[in-house]
Amino acid sequence: MSQRVVVITGGSRGLGAGLVASYLESGDLVATCSRSITPEVEAWLADPELAGRVLFEPADLARREDADRFVKRVVEEWGRVDVLINNAGVARDGILGMFSDDDIDTVIDLNIKGTLYVTRAVSRRMLARRSGTIVNISSVVGRSGYRGLAAYSASKAALDGMTRALARELGSRGITVNAIASGYLRTEMSHGLDEEQLQQIVRRTPSGRLGEPDDIARACQFLTDPRNTYVTGTVMVVDGGLTG
Amino acid sequence: MSTTPADVERTVVDFLKRLEKLPEGFDATTPLYADGVGLDSLETAELSALLEDELGSDPFSTGDLPQSLAEIQAYYAGV
């Protein structure tokens, strides 16, 4: 498999960092962004074995200009985008009746609008080359819901809809679009769930554990494998059987 | 380096050939949509992306919808 140009949003920590690590391991060129740099990103940038294979751009994707600037920099650097993984997202938990306007805006602006901004910019590049693959990192709460996660669940359901629409829109141009509905992972994005809630989820999960970033990364590698052009418009549930 | 009308024409004509939508007698005034070339919305998006890729900017992203090759060339003449 030839070296791909992979864009992973929100790759500075947690699941995003796991995705970046996976694509670096598969030998690809990986560009990522987040609002600020983290020790993980600094380590990749300083690693001589990864020289020239990692690009980091500070960006707040809820701002259209930042999203466009990030994609433009990747194209200037590497000339194209083969794979886009929309991972950047934020969760705010709480009863919706007590939510502030700011909390709603924060979730919607990054999870939906930010994803649309980046995808618009990248899909134009893919259209010009008539090839590419897009994976949206969704969540099982977009399908099943979860108490206290109304805005976040709504944003992930929106990503599933966007996935199906874009798959239809871009399929004739050789571009696949899929989503991964992730189960509950043991990362900092466990959405404010406390240990008791997490243990309850584990008890209800057939595989008997929480997910790891690697579980999602392997599914992502499958969906972005250039041989898998017949898989598009699907939301792959990777949740240890929790919602099966 | 400025974009010449010939650069624009080459990009557009190559694109239309690839789509197998280059009509007999195509010239700078041939309408790009409907009864002219007949570009649909996705093909228009492709042309927009291709122009940006090859020429560094594109008239569609300004909010305009050029109706012909001549209008696309006019955009680059003014850039």
Question: A124 and B52 in contact by Cβ < 8 A?
Answer: yes
CA distance A180 to A220: 8
Report the chain A residue with the minimal C-alpha distance to residue B11: A128
A128–B contact, CB cutoff 8 A:
yes
Q: Indicate the pTM of the whole model.
A: 0.94
On whether the CB atoms of residues B15 and B62 are closer than 8 A, the answer is no
Q: Quote the domain boundaries for residue B70.
A: 5-78
Q: pLDDT-based confidence at A155, cuts 50/70/90?
A: very high
Mean pLDDT of the region B16-24: 96
- Which is it for the CA torsion B4, B7, B13, B19, positive or negative? negative
- ipTM above 0.90? no
Nearest by CB to B53, from A128, A169, A173: name it: A128
Lowest mean pLDDT segment, chosen from A122-136, A171-185, A194-208: A194-208
CA distance A51 to B50: 30
Question: B42 and A172 in contact by Cβ < 8 A?
Answer: yes
Question: A124 and B42 in contact by Cβ < 8 A?
Answer: no
State the smallest CA–CA distance between residue B46 and chain A in angstroms. 6
Question: What is the tally of structural domains in chain B?
Answer: 1
What is the reported pLDDT for A189?
58
Question: A128 and B52 in contact by Cβ < 8 A?
Answer: yes
Question: A124 and B48 in contact by Cβ < 8 A?
Answer: yes
CATH number (domain holding residue B57)? 1.10.1200.10
More confident residue, B35 or A88: A88
Catalytic-residue membership of A152: yes
Burial environment of residue A43 by CB neighbours within 10 A (0 to 12, 13 to 18, 19 or more): exposed
Q: How many CB atoms lie within 10 A of CB B4?
A: 12
Three-state SS string over A148-205 comes to CCHHHHHHHHHHHHHHHHHHHHHHHHCEEEEEEEECCECCCCCCCCCHHHHHHHHHHC
Is A45's pLDDT higher than 70? Answer: yes
| Catalytic option among A23, A117, A146, A152 | A152
Chain B residues with CB under 8 Å of a chain A CB are: 42, 45-46, 48-50, 52-53
Q: Report phi then psi at A56, rounded to 5.
A: -125, 135
Q: Which residues contact A140 (CB under 8 A, 6 or more apart)?
A: A181, A182, A183, A184, A237, A239, A242, A243
Q: Which residues pair with A31 in a beta bridge?
A: A7, A55
Name all domains of chain A by residue range, CATH numbers in brackets. Answer: 5-236 (3.40.50.720)
3-state secondary structure of A62: coil
State the smallest CA–CA distance between residue B42 and chain A in angstroms. 8
The distance from CA A8 to its chain's CA centroid, rounded to whole angstroms, is 7
